[in-house]
Structures are given as C-alpha cells and as structure tokens.
Amino acid sequence: MLVMLAVLCGACHRGSPGPSEVASGALRGFNVLLVTIDTLRADRVGVYGGALGLTPTLDRLAGEGLRFDVAHAHVPMTLPSHTTIMTGLYPVANGVHDNGSFRFAGAKPTLAGELKRAGYRTAAFVGAFVLDARFGLNAGFDVYDDRVQGASANLEIVQRTADAVLAPAADWILNRQSPNPQSSINQQSAISNQHWFAWVHLYDPHEPYTPPEPYASRYSQDPYSGEIAYADAALGRFLGRLQGSALDRTLVVVTSDHGESLGDHGERTHGLFAYEATLRVPLIVWAPGSITPAVVSAPARLVDVAPTILDLVGVSSPPFDGRSLRPRASGEPSLDDPGSYFEALNATLTRNWAPLKGIVRDRVKLVDLPIPELYDLAADPGEQRNVYASQRERARDLESRLDRINAAAQPASALAPVDADAAMRLRSLGYVVSTAPKPARAYTAADDPKRLVHLNTMLDDAAAALGRGDAAAAVGTLQAAIDERPDLTIAYDRLAFALRAAGRTSEAVAVLDRAARGGHADRALLRSLGSGLRDLGDHARAIAVLEPLAREDASDLQTLDALGQAYARAGRPRDAEGAFKRVLDASPNASVTWNNLGSLYLSENRDADALAALAKAVAINPDLAGAHNGLGVAYARRGDLHRAAEEWKKALALRPDLADARANLEKITR
Ligand SMILES: [Zn+2]
C-alpha cells in the first residue's frame, strides 16, 4: 500500500537552499536505483561549481531533487569506499581497508540484503575488476554482473564502459532478459510487478583517462573531464530509456566513491591523501513529485546513504554507523554533526608508510599523521593553512572523537597474512617472509606521506608509462624509486611487472627473487614470483612458492589461478582443473580462468569441455585473444573450419602478434 505524503515546503522554493519535508517511509514500495560514478570529484559537477558543463544529467537530477552540498567519503579507494556505502559502516567496522587485499566477509547487513529481505529483486552492474564478486560486495544481490572487458594483466585497470554497464542494467530493470548467464548466483525471478533495487557503477572517470569519441577529441587536453562528460551522457541515455513506467515510483541516488586529486597537494590521482579533492563527493537524491527540490547544507556521509534509502522506502534499518539524512533534508533542528571518520591506509598496507586517519566535523578537519594537520574548511577550503599548532583545543576535541572510533574498530578482513607453516616452507626456498601483519611501530615524520608523495608520483608515472606501452620508462622510474627507498616493497612487484611487459621475464624473476631474499616478500610479490618462475619453465619452484599461499587462504583467487596454470604446465591436469574450478566457484565471471580451464581441456583433447569453457570466456570478455584462438582450435578439431577461421581472425584482430593464431589460420587457408 503506497502512502505518498505530500511534501510541504513553506520555506524553500525550487532550486534554493531550504528544508524539504518528507516523512519516513514516504517512498514505500518505490524502486531504488543507486548510481556510483567512480572517481568523480565533486567540484567537476556543474551544480557543485563545475564550470565546464560536463554534467547536464546530474545537474538536472540535482535541480529536481535533493542535493547535499557537503558529502564526504571515508576512504579514497574504490572497494573500501563502496563497502561503506553498501554497509552503512565505517571501514573500522566493516573490515575492508584497501583494494585487492581485502574482501567484505558478508557477516554484516547490507543495503542490498535488507532490500532483498523486504521483497525487492536486487541486481548490481559494476564496471571494474576491483569490485569483482570475489571481494564480497555481491552479498544480498540476486544478480551481480561483474563482467569486465579487456585482457590486461594489470587487473586494476580491467574495466568496461558506462554504456556496457548500463545496457544490461536497463534490460534487467525492464525485465527483458537475464543479463548474466555466467552467474552462479541466483537468477532473478522475473516477476514484473516486484519492485527492484539496482546498483550501477560507472568506472570511466578512473584513470586511465580514455574517453570514447566525441569526448576524446573534445577534451583532448583534459581527458579526465572527457570521461566525466561521457559517463554523464551515458547515464542520461540510460534514464531516457527507463523514462516512463520504469522510472515512475523510483528513488534515484547518485554519488561517487571518491574524487581525484589532479595535482592537489602534490597527489595526482587518489588513495594517498584525504584532502577534499578526493574526500568530498557529490550526493543527489531524486524522486520527482515525492521529494521537493532543495539544497541541503547539513553535512552528509557515504555511511548515511544506506540508512537514508531504507528510511525513505520504509524498510527498517539494522545498526549502522550512518544515519538517515531525511531529517536533515527536512531541516529538523537540534541535530548535531556526528563528524565523519576517514582513513587512507593503502600506503601503510603496501609500503609501511605512516597510517593516515582523521575526522571532519563542523567544517574542521583533523588529519592524524606524524606531522598532524588541522584545517578550517569554512575559511580555508583549499586546506592550505595547517592550524594544528595554533588551535590545540579544536584539535584535541577531534582527536578524542577519533580515538573513540578507533577503539571500537573490528578486526580487519584482509586476506590472511602468510602463516607460520607457509613461511617455513618459503624459508626453505630462501625467502624471508614475515608471518604476521607488520607490527605497529613508531612512525616518524620521515614516514609521513606528505614527505613521501614524490615516491607516490613515481609509482603513478610508472603506471602511466606502462599504460601507454612505454615499459622501458616504467622500468627506469621504478628502479629509481627503489634506489631512493629500498623498503618500498610494492615497487619491486611493479618493476617486475614492467620488466615482464618488456619481455624481460628472467630479469623480472631475478628482481622478485632478490626482494624476497631481502625480506621484502609479501603475498602479492610472492604470487608474482611464482608466476614468473612458471613462465620461465621452473614449474617445481613455481609450485613450491604458490602452493603454500593458496593452501592457507582459499579466497586468494589470483594465487589459485596462477597455481592452476603452474600445475597445468607441470603435467598435473587434475590439480590444475581443481584449482581453476575453485576460482570459478567463487568468481563465476573470471573470464581469464575460464580461458585457462578451456586451454587445459584442449591440451587433454577434451574438445567438448574446451569448447564450453572457452565459449564462456569470450561471452564474458570478448577481448580475450587467447580464448578466441583456443576456440578456433576446438572448432577445427570438430572439422568446422569455417568457424575456426572466424575465431582465429578475431584473435588476430585483437592481437596481431599472436603467432599461434596466425599459423593456424595459414594452415587452413594454404
Ligand atoms: Zn574508486
């Protein structure tokens, strides 16, 4: 039974700041569409002051809805930030602090789970590997469409475009088809009248900045803006497609997981610092006819998103760190600012720099580092004047609030550190591995990321060089970073990656081997070492490195996949098949693993099985040249040379240097 309360708005008028009264449960029975545009810096959005006209769609939604002028993220990293949105909990409570090495354990309630329990059908459509189902945000979703495209070995940049995310989302919302044939997760029961919750994640503004045309040309000097303009336009087309019945009685919430520094405070991208360039995000709530347009100046947080949505649609909330923003939007008095916790721990976790934590409250921000910082954001929005020394009282108040949040921290759900047994086995190979998370140590000013940001820039420069295919430049930059700071563990792994990209595999393995013997071995580095040894043909040593890691943490799927490949090359097909199947159980859209499994079957002459696995690989990710080549082989063995030739041509179109495919094609056309 829908109860639509008339929205009274005596004190405001369209588009002006003012209260927008809406009752709890006023949107009961509404569909919910949550849109997260990755890496969208608030001040690039027109209604937030962006002057470039990049975001007509968002500007329209904001003009017709609620716009929260000051909204804060809690972590400037994709996976942990989205985890705060989905759980309504700070990272210290949901356990996810970084990309890749953490997963959401699913023990806490989620927005999707609560809506599903309330009878919604639920689906997510994500644009990047960093949000792959293996990292746990699929909890509560009937459908979790994490098919990404591209075949880069650097999984951080594997993504798909906004249009490729939004097309299956629109199909699902309109009940056209099941969007995710590979998913082992429950498919939706296509009941046309059941209300729905859809989360769409558009990754485009995240680097690399490579917008499609016409945005590439139009923004050739500012491709980041081009990505934003493209994502906004794609969202506009998507909403246009849903216009009418699908958008009637739908609550739309648009936000971002973090911004982008673009050189602010010396940081080029995001993740190292927590200045407003990356911490402040747009937040727009839209339900025309049900919510009166208004601009809300009271502070909002990403942990408030889930409780706000549940409040508006009348679904009871589990305990959250966040709280519903509805009363704030209604201008109810006597609500104090609870403050917004934030952290940026990637540099601590990957290179043992000082941990960055802080809190912003009443427009004052504390950044707790060896060189502490305090900013009065109202007077100094650019955070140029550190007033920590002169405003001790305000700093102390925020420090005690931060202490209370830290004291309530839950254990983190990182992938397991290397355990004692594994460490012993690795030691027998000569590798020095710490068996516990690095102990908290006394960090000094020399460990403050402010002092080390240039090293961060070197890592960024190397990644950018690799992205444009200049592996030699990346190698030089990374070697220089290691020379300056030999304990920069992550740089060894990146250097090895760059060397391998340049075809210098044995040098890459030597770098990793030396780093591991020198005490710089972490899980990621050892995984790279095992893969490198495998590619050099040293299967026994590869397995000796990878097996203990895979055995102790079954959720480390990248290691498991690498181990499967080592088994396959070492002539242990059943072990290889078992490893690949374990990966696919946890991550049904892992296209590279489907390709590996298909290749294994081909090598065993199990052609029907190979065909099925390889067809899945290219259905999920049409860019996998190797899978097309394998499919060609499978068709050829069946005598279907026409389809074989088609697949080999596809493989060569993707990778003209793929000698196997060329030789195969020449063989049948001769
Ligand atoms: Zn992100």
Residue 418 per-residue DSSP state: P
**Strand 121-125 vs strand 143-145: parallel, antiparallel, or unpaired?**
parallel
How remote is the CA of residue 21 from the centroid of ligand 1, in Å?
32
> What is the identity of the amino acid at 4?
M
Sort 237 into a burial class: Cβ within 10 Å, 0-12 / 13-18 / 19+.
Answer: middle
- The CA-atom distances, in angstroms, between 657 and each of 150, 443, 651 are 16, 49, 10
How remote is the CA of residue 273 from the centroid of ligand 1, in Å?
14
Specify the pLDDT at position 18.
52
Kindly give, in sequence order, each residue whose CB lies less than 8 Å from that of residue 144, ignoring residues fewer than 6 positions away. 123, 124, 126, 133, 137, 138, 180, 183, 185
Specify the pLDDT at position 523.
80
How remote is the CA of residue 609 from the centroid of ligand 1, in Å?
37
Residue 544 has pLDDT above 60, yes or no: yes
How remote is the CA of residue 102 from the centroid of ligand 1, in Å?
15
Residue 156 has pLDDT above 60, yes or no: no
* Interhelix angle 557-569/573-586, nearest 10 degrees: 160
Residue 586 per-residue DSSP state: H
Least confident of 32-36, 60-64, 144-148, 373-377: 144-148
Residue 638 has pLDDT above 50, yes or no: yes
Phi, psi of 367 (to 5 degrees): -115, 115
How remote is the CA of residue 206 from the centroid of ligand 1, in Å?
7
Q: What average pLDDT does range 367-384 have in this prediction?
A: 97
**SS3 per-residue string spanning 495-549:** HHHHHHHCCCHHHHHHHHHHHHHCCCECHHHHHHHHHHHHHCCCHHHHHHHHHHH
How remote is the CA of residue 22 from the centroid of ligand 1, in Å?
31
- The pLDDT confidence band at residue 414, using thresholds 50, 70 and 90, is low
Contact 2, 280 (CB under 8 A): no
Q: Which of 247, 312, 309, 273 is nearest to 75 (CA)?
A: 273
Torsion angle defined by CA atoms of residues 465, 468, 472 and 473, in that order, rounded to the nearest 10 degrees = -30
Least confident of 51-55, 175-179, 578-582: 175-179
Residue 12 has pLDDT above 80, yes or no: no
* Alpha helices by DSSP H, 54-97: 56-64, 78-87, 91-94
Specify the pLDDT at position 152.
54
383/438: higher pLDDT: 383
Specify the pLDDT at position 187.
43
How remote is the CA of residue 159 from the centroid of ligand 1, in Å?
12
How remote is the CA of residue 39 from the centroid of ligand 1, in Å?
5
Residue 181 has pLDDT above 60, yes or no: no
* 617-633 pLDDT, tens digit each: 999 888 899 999 999 99
How remote is the CA of residue 106 from the centroid of ligand 1, in Å?
20
How remote is the CA of residue 78 from the centroid of ligand 1, in Å?
3
Specify the pLDDT at position 438.
55
342 vs 84: CA distance, rounded Å: 11
* 197-248 pLDDT, tens digit each: 999 999 999 988 999 999 999 999 999 999 999 999 999 999 999 988 789 8
- Per the prediction, the chain carries an average pLDDT of 88
Specify the pLDDT at position 426.
62
387 vs 366: CA distance, rounded Å: 10
How remote is the CA of residue 203 from the centroid of ligand 1, in Å?
7
Q: What average pLDDT does range 502-517 have in this prediction?
A: 92
Residue 184 has pLDDT above 60, yes or no: no
How remote is the CA of residue 514 from the centroid of ligand 1, in Å?
33
Residue 188 has pLDDT above 90, yes or no: no
How remote is the CA of residue 223 from the centroid of ligand 1, in Å?
17
Residue 3 has pLDDT above 70, yes or no: no
Q: What average pLDDT does range 555-584 have in this prediction?
A: 93
- The pLDDT confidence band at residue 409, using thresholds 50, 70 and 90, is confident
Q: Is the peptide bond before 208 cis (omega within 30 degrees of 0)?
A: yes
Q: What average pLDDT does range 479-499 have in this prediction?
A: 90
How remote is the CA of residue 219 from the centroid of ligand 1, in Å?
21
84 vs 255: CA distance, rounded Å: 13
How remote is the CA of residue 576 from the centroid of ligand 1, in Å?
34
How remote is the CA of residue 71 from the centroid of ligand 1, in Å?
16
Residue for token pair 């242990």: 572
Least confident of 13-27, 168-182, 257-271, 273-287: 13-27
How remote is the CA of residue 258 from the centroid of ligand 1, in Å?
6
Contact 129, 558 (CB under 8 A): no
Note the pTM of the prediction, 2 decimals.
0.85
Residue 659 has pLDDT above 80, yes or no: yes
83 vs 165: CA distance, rounded Å: 19
Kindly give, in sequence order, each residue whose CB lies less than 8 Å from that of residue 265, ignoring residues fewer than 6 positions away. 273, 275, 277, 383, 450, 453
Q: What average pLDDT does range 73-96 have in this prediction?
A: 96
> What is the identity of the amino acid at 178?
S
Report residue 188 as tokens: 């939706």
